[in-house]
Structure 1
Amino acid sequence: MSQKELQYVDAVNTTSDNEGWLILNVTGPLTSWVAFPSSNLGLYLSVHITHRTGHEIRPEELGIVGEKGEKQKQPFMVAFFKVTGHDNVHVRRTRDTGRNRNKKADSESSYPRNPLYDSSMNWSSRSCQIQTLYVSFKDLEWQDWIIAPEGYHAFYCSGECNFPLNAHMNATNHAIVQTLVHLMNPQTVPKPCCAPTKLSSISVLYFVDDNNVVLQKYKNMVVKSCGCH
């Protein structure tokens, strides 16, 4: 039996405390499988620790759910196909005759694109993510009864939940389905909303009256992470 060579498909960086889905772009092998079904040998997931690429570890050791894990957490693939009226799969697209395109646009045009993916969007700055917000109790005119702290970093969530929902968006399954429905028919439902997924508390020292001071912990005051809901 001849030895099969592994071909690189995609990679994603994550942390040990990350929760949620990890998204990989498998357009390349999927296109090949549709055109040549016999070439479908499956996908192999290789997990490495940063700066120790030569040492491979089992995905289960890092909490990555495999085929023996919970059913609702099994990996899945989302694919979009454009019906062209032909049986063959077009891998290359017609070249643009314009001379002012840069090299990046040239290279990207050689691959089939998802028609629902807007590559002109700046996902890094517009996608759902945590933003800085400092709340000053003096600005709220609460300084007369709050002794400490003078303020705190509350943070807030802002951004769009556009397709595809990346791993850092901490999207719920409902949000993923809602995004797909919105893509098919924007008039039916809106996009999912960017909202806090984790919150933490702060302690506040304040006057109850002229003679009594209370130290109390208030829950859900600080945004720790954001996600699409």
Structure 2
Amino acid sequence: IYEIAAEHSNRESDLFLLDVQDLRAGTEGWLVFDVTAASNHWLVDRKYNLGLRLYVETDDGHSVDPGSAGLLGRRGPRSKQPFMVTFFRASPGPTRITRAAKPPRRRQPKKTNDLPHPNKLPGIFDDVHAADGRQVCRRHELYVSFQDLGWLVLGYSAYYCEGECAFPLDSCMNATNHAILQSLVHLMKPEAVPKACCAPTKLSATSVLYYDSNNNVILKKHRNMVVKSCGCH
């Protein structure tokens, strides 16, 4: 795998070798390449980001089409799409980047057939589905009736969490860092590690007003009774 260092109109692009993998024809699973050098260049200046280039060659140097060799790219299923994992270190102090003022742009009218942005947060009860039709992790309605338990008080909305935590975990899933890493490991070794689970990320209290056996009015606050938000853990 190479970083494209420079592009030219009259000759081949300049390439910088990043990593090499030696594989047998029957190998199955993910290929992991170290592209740290390329990401460091891109962090310095985004104009360096001309992309990556992947070559597949036989032992005797003959070029092979990656698709015919069995590599799945963007045309493969979503669970096997190529991806990059990056770790960032926090800066020692606040920094401010000075930017040149840009002239105001005229706002274009929104097209009626535009798709919503993938990072747009859905409503509480929006019908959100993954690309393969499965419902992603979100909060659902659940009303607990205390009268069904023989109590005099009515009940309350407790809610519950349910849905898929399939890779890739986007912002609407409120995924923890641990869930993201667990999803990556599950992709590589599904038999060893399960998927991340959909669970409450924030709970709130609810108050219950009732009469005791002596007809005294009692107001009691119970902690962690209502699901406020859900996420992948």
User: Structure 1-normalised TM-score?
Assistant: 0.50
Greater Rg over alpha carbons, structure:
2
Relative contact order, CA 8 A, sep 6+: which one is greater?
A: 1
User: Structure 2-normalised TM-score?
Assistant: 0.49
More helix by share: 1
